[in-house]
Structure 1
Amino acid sequence: MGKPMVLFLCTGNSARSQMAEAFLRQHAGNKYDAHSAGLNPQGVHPLTIQVMKETGIDISGHQSKSLNQYLGKTSPKWVIFGCEKAEESCPHVWPFSLQSESWNLEDPVDFTGDELEQLMKFRFVRDQIEARILDWITENRIDSETEN
């Protein structure tokens, strides 16, 4: 049996879900098949690419993906909603998904401020996401080991 699939969903698939996908691949890609998508793909935000590169993860080749790429074509074990809007718009997208979670992370794309303030917001959200990913991996370690 293959690795269990984890799908991170957000509104634009431009920041939060892209970061979560990249961190899960970085920290546990040998155990999980990480993907991300958005309700209304907006393209990967340049600051997302920049702040991830600061951690040594290059996502410059990533593209925003639509939720439609996955609907009816995949069976994720986990669906993790990065925002309330995504969760409210598709609460029962995968009725056969074993688990879903809501992380309700602040969207750094919506933050207004000067360039330095925006960069700081992206870094703050990035660090929150990495901590959530590391906690999630620890909490779900037994589940992933029983899959193999």
Structure 2
Amino acid sequence: MDTRKLKVLILCSGNSARSQMAEAFLRHLAGDRFKVMSAGTEPASTINPYAIEAMNEIGIDISTQCPKDLSLYLGQIFINYLIIVCSKANDSCPRVWPGLANQNNRLYWPVDDPAEATGSDKEKLAAFRKARNEIKEKLEAWLATNP
């Protein structure tokens, strides 16, 4: 691992959709600048298939990623940025993050949970597309004004 890269941890509750999409986007958009990781406060067993499909539509494959537990990172490694993409994770993780270089780098970007969408497959996939696009917009805006 290149130790000069800034470390970014992206956090949500299940680590099966939003944080996985954000991890892949940040790698895709600026992977040369960051070591990107994601985790969940209550990780699921697999990546949500709608998240995989929504990302595949834009040419990013997340099918080999897997949910990881927050305990792998919390207080275990030094990180430069913590990006929290869900309110449940924001409510359950520490306000002062052990190992975070600057507590001002604890960013909260809530994105509605697409896994809560109901209806047909088409309607559920639409919710994942919406979340995907929102995450991409937030990351692009952040990258335009940050490291």
Deviation per CA, 1:95-114: give whole Å up to 9, x if none.
Answer: 44121111111000011111
Query: Which of 107, 124, 128 matches 2:130?
Result: 124
Instruction: Note if 1:4 corresponds to 2:20.
Output: no
Matching residue of 2:40: 38
**What is the aligned residue count?**
141
Give the whole-Å Cα distance in 2 for the aligned partners of 1:125 and 1:6. 20
Instruction: Note if 1:111 corresponds to 2:113.
Output: no
Unpaired segments ≥5 residues, structure 2: none
Deviation per CA, 1:78-129: give whole Å up to 9, x if none.
Answer: 1111111111111335244121111111000011111110011111110111
Matching residue of 1:27: 29
Runs of 4+ with deviation above 4 angstroms: none
- Identity across aligned pairs (percent)? 44
CA drift of 1:72 comes to 2.4
1:65-76 counterparts in 2 under 5 A?
A: 65-76=68-79
Q: Secondary structure at the match of 1:73?
A: coil
CA drift of 1:22 comes to 0.3
- 8 Å CA contact retained: 2:14, 2:42: yes
1:83 partner letter: C
Give the whole-Å Cα distance in 2 for the aligned partners of 1:93 and 1:37. 17
Query: Which deviates more, 83-92 or 109-118?
Result: 83-92
CA drift of 1:44 comes to 0.6
Matching residue of 1:101: 107
Structure showing greater relative contact order (alpha-carbon pairs closer than 8 Å, 6 or more residues apart):
1
| Pairwise CA RMSD | 1.2
Query: Which of 45, 52, 62 matches 2:65?
Result: 62
Q: TM-score if structure 2 supplies the norm length? A: 0.91
Unpaired segments ≥5 residues, structure 1: none
2:82 partner letter: V
Query: Which deviates more, 97-106 or 20-29?
Result: 97-106
- 8 Å CA contact retained: 2:77, 2:99: no
2:133 partner letter: D
